[in-house]
Amino acid sequence: MIVFLRIPYIKSITILGGIVMLLACKNDLQDVNKLVQPERRPEMTGDNLEMIYSDSAKIKYRVLTPEYLKINKEKEKYEEFPQGIYVISYDKDGEMAGSIRSKYAKKLEEEMLWEARNEVIVINAEGKKLETELLYWDMKKEQIYSDRYVRLTSGGQIIEGNNGFVSDQNLEHPVFLSITGNIEVEKKQPQ
C-alpha cells in the first residue's frame, strides 16, 4: 500500500527553503569563538554613569561619562571612556579642587595613569584654564603633563607651551616648554 501525503504547495516551498538555508549556512568555529572569547569583551560596560572614587570615606574624584568600558585582560587592565569624560576633583575639606573634561579618556589601573585626548580642558580651583589635545595625569605623583601644545589662561594672562608642560595636578606650579605668551608685569617706579 502506498500512502501519498498531500502537502499544500506553499508549505512545501517553505519547508524546502528552510532545508536549503540550514544546509547553506556555514560558520567557521574559530570566527564564532573569537566573538565570544572573554578576553575580547569588556568585563564591565555602562552608559551615562557617575562614578565616585573615595579614600577614607572622603570623595576624591567624581567621574561622569556617557560610555564606560572596563577591560581586564592578562597583560592589561584599564578603564576606557570612548565618548568622553568629566572629572571633578575634591580637596581634603570636600571643596572642588578642579576639573578635567575631554572627548576621550583612558585610565590604566596598575599605573594609576589617566590619558585624556581631544579637546582637553582643565580648570583649577582658582579658575586657571589649561587647554590641550593630549594630557596625562599621574595620580601617584599627583602630576599632569603633556608633550603637545598647551594654553594656560589665568585672568587676562595667556601662556602657551609649544612642546608641552609639566605641573602639579592643581596647576599651581606649571613649567612650560618652548614658552610664548602675554604676561602682565607690574612696573615699579624708581624711588
Superfamily holding 43-182: Lipopolysaccharide (LPS) transport protein A like domain (2.60.450.10)
pLDDT digits (tens, 9 = 90+) for 76-95: 889 999 999 999 988 888 88
Average pLDDT over residues 35-51: 73
| Coil, strand or helix at 183 | coil
Domain ranges of the chain: 43-182
Considering only 61-65, 77-81, 176-180, which range has the smallest mean pLDDT? 176-180
Considering only 25-29, 108-112, 172-176, which range has the smallest mean pLDDT? 25-29
137 burial (CB, 10 Å; 0-12 / 13-18 / 19+) is buried
For 101-135, the DSSP string reads EESEEEEETTTTEEEEEEEEEEEETT--EEEEEEE
Average pLDDT over residues 124-129: 90
Contacting residues for 117 by C-beta, under 8 A, at least 6 apart? 102, 103, 104, 105, 133, 134, 135
Find out whether 100 and 121 touch, Cβ atoms under 8 Å: yes
- Check pLDDT > 60 for residue 25: no
Please tell me the predicted confidence (pLDDT) of residue 182. 63
Higher pLDDT, 103 or 56: 103
Q: Mean pLDDT highest for which of 17-26, 42-51, 143-152, 161-170?
A: 143-152
- Check pLDDT > 50 for residue 116: yes
Rounded Cα–Cα distance for residues 133 and 142 (Å): 20
How big is the CA angle at 135 (ends 131 and 136), to the nearest 5 degrees?
150
Average pLDDT over residues 36-47: 69
Average pLDDT over residues 37-59: 79
Percent of the chain past pLDDT 70, that is, above it, reads: 74
Higher pLDDT, 2 or 63: 63
Q: 6 falls in which pLDDT band (50, 70, 90)? A: very low
φ, ψ dihedrals at 4, nearest 5°? -105, 130
Please tell me the predicted confidence (pLDDT) of residue 141. 92
pTM assigned to the model: 0.69
Mean pLDDT estimate for the chain: 81
